[in-house]
Amino acid sequence: MSNLLYTIAVVLVIFWAIGFFAYGAGALIHILLVIAIISVLLKIIGGNKA
């Protein structure tokens, strides 16, 4: 599960960077970035609950 969250976060950050620098997609890209940051923070705060 932790690898999944990090993978999603990385993918969203990459999409954000592409949208910000190449396409200027606006608010949607920034929402994706916020979701990526929140998912990483939840993983860090939650710790290892295996």
Q: pTM for the complete prediction?
A: 0.47
Residue 3, SS3?
Answer: helix
Q: Which pLDDT score, from 0 to 100, does residue 49 have?
A: 58
Q: Domain of 9?
A: 2-46
pLDDT in tens, the chain (50 residues): 567 878 888 888 888 777 766 665 566 767 777 888 888 888 888 876 54
DSSP 50: -
Total domain count, the chain:
1
Q: Quickly count: other Cβ atoms within 10 Å of residue 28's Cβ.
A: 11
